[in-house]
A = this chain, B = another copy of it.
Amino acid sequence: MKEKHYIGVDIGGTATKIGLTNHAHELLDHRSIPTDPDRGPAALIDDIASAVTRMASNTPAAIGVGCPGPLSPSRGIVFSSPNLNGWENIPLQELMQTRIGVPACIENDANVAALGQYAALPLEEKSDLVLLTLGTGIGSGTIINGQIFHGHHETGSEWGHCIVQPNGRACPCGQHGCLEQYSSATAMTIIAREEIEKGGDTSLTSGATAEMIVNAARDKDPIASSVLNSACLYLAIAIINIQHAINPKYVFLGGGVSGAGEFLLEGVVEHVRAQRWSAHDDHPIIRLAPLANTAGIVGAATLAQQHAGA
């Protein structure tokens, strides 16, 4: 009998990645195609189907799709995704199944990325984890007992919108003081620009990207250091709250900002240490996410495998 293969798809606003895995969650092949969401889901699914045909010599056993939400995994519907212009109430699970002819499941993109990070852990290290993806916004996924955690409304794990500063910066979501308004790449550039316009001492210009801010902070630029320190402080508060809410073994930092690597990690860990409580020795291990660009496709394929009961 031939080994079963699984397809993982990671739909992003710009690019869609497609990967082929075996039962051990090993990535055998992967490729990237343009998403071009304006042409609608059917055209994208056609391109995904072509890529699957080229990659898999046999029909895969199942296909998993990570997609920007909001969406319902249980109903298989993408409600209305701001990152996929104009997609409204798309029955993505059914469209995938019909076009590709194998069982499909859909899931929030940050959730499949978290499952991908879990799948990549060695067996003896597998345990509950929370992934924070630091990019334009802050996404998050929670894995409990090897499964994506959804909560009652299927919208669990939105740590980017936990409030870390009462009456803090306004968030488009309607709340004030969300983590995303302090520690995302976008937030760092906005806060740096505000500080530059106030006329502080800095080598940065008002168009500085998060990467430029991190590099300047490495060189001890005062405004860059202050912006990065604040991003790390609020991440630390979120991680302490994750500890008291979810009590995971790991908190992983992924996404674009995590490209700042050990430098970012040190800043976060330092603030967590300064706050750590004495009641229990239940502090999570904080690490840079082990999988960089392939977490989404590995996680989506792992989810497909879980749904197939394999």
Contact = CB atoms under 8 A, between A and B. Distances in A.
Which label, helix, strand, loop or mixed, suits the secondary structure of the A interface? loop
A123 interface: no
Interface residues of A, number: 45
Copies of this protein in the complex: 2
Interface string A272-288: 00011111111000000
7 contacts: A70-B280, A152-B249, A153-B247, A161-B279, A162-B240, A162-B241, A163-B241
Interface in A258-310: 275-282
A189 interface: no
A30 interface: no
Contact of A244 (B162, B275, B279, B280): B162
Closest 7 CB pairs of A and B: A151-B247, A153-B282, A156-B247, A245-B245, A158-B244, A173-B277, A152-B249
Contacts of A155: 247, 279-280, 282
Interface string A226-247: 0000000110010011101111
Interface in A139-170: 142, 150-159, 161-166
Given A163-B237, A166-B165, A166-B237, A175 B242 contact: no
A248 B151 contact: yes
Interface string A156-198: 1111011111100001011110000000000000000000000
A245 B173 contact: no
Contact of A245 (B153, B156, B240): B156
A247 B152 contact: yes
A30 to B, nearest CB: 30
A103 to B, nearest CB: 24
A79 to B, nearest CB: 9
Nearest to A233: B166
Contacts of A153: 247, 249, 280-282
